[in-house]
Structure 1
């Protein structure tokens, strides 16, 4: 549900962009893919902090493969039976007019800031730094 909201706002921004009129699905999928990677990293850092195992998913050898795989999975999720159109039509049915550009920008930026903050917190937890030094 959060990713759908992020998709809607980034899709609206892509539709209003003059340089992205031909394929407005490209930018939202990149933004969601990056947010998904940030959230996966925070979960992995948290798991590593709780256990003694070191999970190496994003290593130098496979970081590009994992990135392309995540992007392709997100892209295929939204392209499957034109799911992106159904999500957008559902949003348009609930709201009579699209949100203002500043609101869409605020939603996307706020989600990124929260995701990055959670990654930092989980990394501090994994390394037992800052407020987690006493654990």
Structure 2
């Protein structure tokens, strides 16, 4: 997978939040850390796509991935450097539950693997 295959990249959280206000990443660290995100066993997902090899967190926005018993939401899946920029948009207007299930069913450790799981998800309105 090449970096050109990714939908959008933003240098800062503020730039992303300006472009995606309905799926904003919380600026407050306490709020952000309370949301369900994927960290690959707290090690982080290795960025093998952009060449940085940074450890990334996969964020499900808005509000984090729905917990069991919570209603599904349509949102955006992004990769962040532990909640900081740059942000890489991996999927837009997808079921956050479907995205969470796709990722946690495979437990990917590299960004290219996450991309292959969430980028093909259909844009949808969840029915829960």
- Looking at secondary structure, tell me which structure has more strand per residue: 2
- Looking at secondary structure, tell me which structure has more helix per residue: 1
Find the structure with the greater CA-based Rg.
1
> What TM-score results when the alignment is normalised by the length of structure 2?
0.24
> What TM-score results when the alignment is normalised by the length of structure 1?
0.23
Structure of greater relative contact order (alpha carbons < 8 Å, 6+ residues apart): 1
